Amino acid sequence: MAVWDWKVIEKQANAALGKKADDVNASRRQAHAIGMQGNTAQAVDMLQKHLYYHPKDAKAMDLLAAFLVIAGKPADAIGWSDKALQADPKFLAARYNRAVACVKSGKVEEGIRDLGMAVESNAEYREIAAEDADFAGITGNARFKAVLAVPKME
C-alpha cells in the first residue's frame, strides 16, 4: 500500500493552481489533501466552491460526499453521491461511498444494495468493505454477509 504525503500533494496542487488557476484536477487535489490532513471542514468548503466553478466534476462530488460522511453528515453525503452517479453512472467509487453514507444514515438495506452493485462490478470492493470500519455495525446482517461472500466455483 502506498503512503501518501498529503502535505507534498497540497504543495503540488498549490503550484499547479499558481500556473493555471482553473486547473480542475489541481483544485480537487488541493481540497483532498487538506481534508486528508485532518481539516475536513475546510475540505468541504473548498469542494463546494470547486463545484460552483466545475459543476460536472463527479470526482469532486464523490470526494465531497466522503468528507461529509467524515464530518458526520451522511444524509448530505447521499445527495452528493447521487449527483456524482448522475454525472457518471459507472463511477464505482461513488457507488461504494453512497453505500457507506446510506449505512451511516440508517438506510442499511439501501446501502447493502449499493455495496452489492459496487462489488458486482469490481470484486475488489468485497475486500475493501470487509475491512471498512464504516460497515462494522452491520457485520451480522445476512444480506451484508452475502454481498461479501466469495462466489463458489462450480
Give the tens place of pLDDT for each residue, 31-68: 999 999 999 999 999 999 999 999 999 999 999 999 99
State the Cα–Cα distance between residues 142 and 1, nearest whole angstrom: 30
Spatial separation of the C-alpha atoms in residues 21 and 40, rounded to whole Å: 22
Return the minimum-mean-pLDDT range out of 3-7, 28-32, 62-66.
3-7
Residue 151's pLDDT is what? 81
Distance, CA of 35 to CA of 81 (rounded, Å)? 18
Q: Quickly count: other Cβ atoms within 10 Å of residue 133's Cβ.
A: 6
> Would you state the cell numbers that stand for residue 121, as one nine-digit string?
462490478
> Which pLDDT does position 1 carry in this prediction?
37
For the chain, which residues make up each domain, given as ranges?
1-55, 74-147
Residue-wise DSSP of 23-62: -HHHHHHHHHHHHHTT-HHHHHHHHHHHHHH-TT-HHHHH
pLDDT value at residue 126: 95
CB 87 within 8 A of CB 56: yes
Considering the domain 74-147 in this protein, what is its CATH number? Answer: 1.25.40
Which DSSP state fits 149?
A: S
DSSP summary character for residue 76: H
- Give the Cα separation of 67 and 24 in Å (integer): 18
pLDDT, one tens digit per residue, over 96-117 is 999 999 999 999 999 999 999 9
Please give the C-alpha separations between residue 145 and each of 99, 103, 121, 137, 140, in angstroms, as whole numbers.
Answer: 14, 14, 17, 12, 7
Arithmetic mean of pLDDT over the chain: 94
Grid cell of 134 as nine digits: 464504516
